[in-house]
Amino acid sequence: FELEKDAESTVAELNDLDSINDTEINALAATLAEKIELEKDAESTVAELNDLDSLQIKLATAAVNEANATLNNAKAELAAANLNAPFNGVITSISVEIGDPVNRTTPTIDILDPSIVVVDGSIDEIDVLSVKVGDAVTVTLDALPDQPLEGVVDEIGDGVNQQGVIEFPLTVALTPPDDIELIEGLSATATIVLNQIDNALLVPLQAVGGSFFQATVDIVTPDGFVTTNIELGASDDFWVIAESGISEGQEVLMAVAKSVDPFQQLFGAGGGAIRIPGGAAPGPGGGGRGGVGGGPQ
């Protein structure tokens, strides 16, 4: 822009002159050419400066990106150094020290969840296949016999030989009510319902006779008793389901074991029959009466 002004000024000066010699014309032309070159140099310098600014911006951007990547890697390494528990709780023990060799399967820290109470027990091998993790469990504490607690099977361990009997360790997880503060070491009994049949007719197992192929019961009548064939269902080793052959409310005779006092036996005295819970006093021949009732099995 300045160069154009100078050129216009020079032209105006030339127009104002009546006469001008060659020397002056050449001098003016040289001055104009010099100004043009200076303008070109200035434009080239500005372009170089613009290119330099663009390069510096790119270099600075690359440096920032590299710094962010380094920061993210550092954050990831820091997060990997933290041990996050799967639940909130209290650390009860640490089984390793600094410098000890460990692997992925080495237990290192025990964490207690104060909101969950566990009951450790065992189950016989004849029942273990019928139990699975997650099954509902009713737990009765000796210290709270009238307040059963609900829980679930949390873990079933490997079988252990206990004096020739195979038992499987079993852990039950409880969620006790807020108004109960349980302490470690309490005795408990866990009940797991393996099968439930509603509205079943139950007969005492001790009242069942007959053979493997045909079960019978002795139904009490005014004249004594009558032996009747019945069809049996599931049993819990105390009661058995009578699917047909008998009605609710009928009385049946039960076989009763006898217990003899060793001192009475030594001196020739007779023993007395044991009364069975739920049954009447045994009659002649060691028999007792039992009721037939309905209820869940």
Q: Kind of pairing, strands 215-221 and 224-235?
A: antiparallel
Confidence of residue 8 (pLDDT cuts 50, 70, 90): low
Task: Please give the radius of gyration of the chain, using alpha carbons only, rounded to the nearest integer.
Answer: 50
Give the span between the Cα atoms of 51 and 54, in whole angstroms: 5
Average pLDDT in the chain:
76
Please check the confidence at residue 77 and state whether its pLDDT lies above 60.
Answer: yes
Confidence of residue 259 (pLDDT cuts 50, 70, 90): low
Q: Which has the closest alpha carbon to 243: 297, 291, 193?
A: 297
Kindly report which listed range (20-29, 115-124, 145-154, 201-210) carries the lowest average pLDDT score: 20-29
Q: Which has the closest alpha carbon to 232: 253, 218, 219, 217?
A: 217
Rounded average pLDDT over 157-166: 85
Q: Token pair for residue 163?
A: 């004096």
Instruction: Give the pLDDT confidence score for residue 14 in this predicted structure.
Output: 55
Rounded average pLDDT over 75-102: 82
Please name every residue paired with 90 in a beta bridge, in sequence order, or none if there are none: 112
Please name every residue paired with 149 in a beta bridge, in sequence order, or none if there are none: 139
Kindly report which listed range (16-25, 149-158, 253-262) carries the lowest average pLDDT score: 16-25
Confidence of residue 215 (pLDDT cuts 50, 70, 90): very high
Higher per-residue confidence, 272 vs 30: 30
Burial readout 54-81 (b: 16 or more C-beta within 10 A, e: otherwise): eeeeeeeeeeeeeeeeeeeeeeeeeeee
Instruction: Give the pLDDT confidence score for residue 92 in this predicted structure.
Output: 84
Q: Which has the closest alpha carbon to 273: 292, 254, 250, 245?
A: 254
Give the span between the Cα atoms of 211 and 59, in whole angstroms: 97
Rounded average pLDDT over 3-18: 57
Q: Kind of pairing, strands 239-244 and 200-204?
A: antiparallel
Give the span between the Cα atoms of 119 and 153, in whole angstroms: 9
Most confident of 4-8, 30-34, 160-164, 199-203: 199-203
Instruction: Give the pLDDT confidence score for residue 239 in this predicted structure.
Output: 87
Rounded average pLDDT over 126-133: 86
Please check the confidence at residue 97 and state whether its pLDDT lies above 50.
Answer: yes
Give the span between the Cα atoms of 250 and 244, in whole angstroms: 13
Q: Residue 218 burial (CB < 10 Å; 0-12/13-18/19+)?
A: buried
Confidence of residue 51 (pLDDT cuts 50, 70, 90): low
Q: Token pair for residue 284?
A: 């002649």
Q: Token pair for residue 42?
A: 């200035």
Percentage with pLDDT > 70 across the chain: 73
User: What is the reported pTM?
Assistant: 0.41
